[in-house]
Amino acid sequence: MTIADAPPAAAAAADASLRWYPGGSFDLHQTLGILMRGNGDPSFAAWQDGLWMAFNTPDGPATLRLTAAGIGRETFVDAQTWGPGAGSAIASVPALLGGRDDWSGFDEPAFHATLPRMVREARRRNLAVRLPSTGRVVDSLVPTILEQKVTTIEARRGYRYLVYRYGTAAPSAGRLSPSGLLVAPSPDRWLAVPSWEWHKAGVGPQRSATVMRALRSAVALERLATLDAAEAGTKMQTIPGIGVWTAAEVVQRTHGCPDSIAVGDYHLASYVGYALTGSKTDDAGMIKLLEPWRGHRQRVVRMLGLSGFRKPMFGPRITIQDHRGH
């Protein structure tokens, strides 16, 4: 994996730019899709001219455009950034694109042979996927807290509402700018959200209190990005309201952790059980099933998800509650 200067035309159009070579096949949307909170995430825009993102950095907000081209080992990604945080944003691009993600142990023949056929086949078809590392703890933590103990639809609806209300316009990329792109609220702006706005967003007092409690230590939270994933997850859980599920979901995105699994997820254990054994299991059963691949358990789960397998559906769907009008 190498980095080069972006072409002169691209560099002239942005505050900072680079060209990154992954050294093999690379799928931009498949790699970064895990970071999006649904297709309506206000901080992302997928256009024909690339994938756009807007986010906070230590130096201020930034707008980032990523475009991939080439085939196989000739693949490259052009990155352009705008705004006060352009320098910080461009420095984060290689890790964001999975530059630290090493699949060699997973693909080593002896280890690979131990994997279920479904996982091996999924990996064969998805050599271009990487695990991204954002390094932005607050940006991952807040929407993850909102997803605690509610349906994904509810959580993402509430997150969109709050970002539209308290986010800020992404730094302009001139005529290239996608309309409506927003930067999620900074810690200070999250802390300023009044109780009635949480209610309108469908976020209960337990989850909003957890967000507030966590973001009072926002500086310390962002420092967790410098630790290894296991230590960062453990320290995160010292904040009341943040448990093993939340910590795992965060470090999967902030650290590109190849091993963290979301124990306590409503669907994951049964999904893994059906995929690997044909029968439903619980968290303890899932951990036991994945134990032979410790160190790569998240990779195994990711490949199961990309395999196309769907677990059997039984019983009524969960009712989506909407308390915003009460």
For residue 4, what pLDDT is reported? 63
Expressed in angstroms, the distance from the first to the final Cα of the chain is 54
Confidence (pLDDT) at 2: 66
- Specify whether the CB–CB gap between 256 and 131 falls below 8 A: yes
CA distance 271 to 311: 6
What is the reported pLDDT for 6? Answer: 57
CA distances from 115 to 70, 278, 294 (A): 31, 16, 12
Which contiguous run of DSSP H or E holds residue 110?
helix 109-112
pTM equals: 0.91
- In whole angstroms, give the CA distance from residue 125 to residue 262: 24
pLDDT at 1 over 70: no
Q: What is the mean pLDDT of residues 102-109?
A: 97
- Residues 178-213 have pLDDT tens digits of 989 999 999 999 999 999 999 999 999 999 999 999
Residue type at position 206:
Q
Q: The domain 137-242 is classified under which CATH number: 1.20.1290.10, 1.10.340.30, 3.40.50.1000, 3.40.50.720?
A: 1.10.340.30
Domain ranges of the chain: 2-125, 137-242
Asked if the model's pLDDT at residue 317 lies above 80, the reply is no
For residue range 119-157, what is the model confidence (pLDDT) as tens digits?
A: 999 999 999 999 999 999 999 999 999 999 999 999 999
Per-residue confidence (pLDDT) for residue 73, from 0 to 100: 83
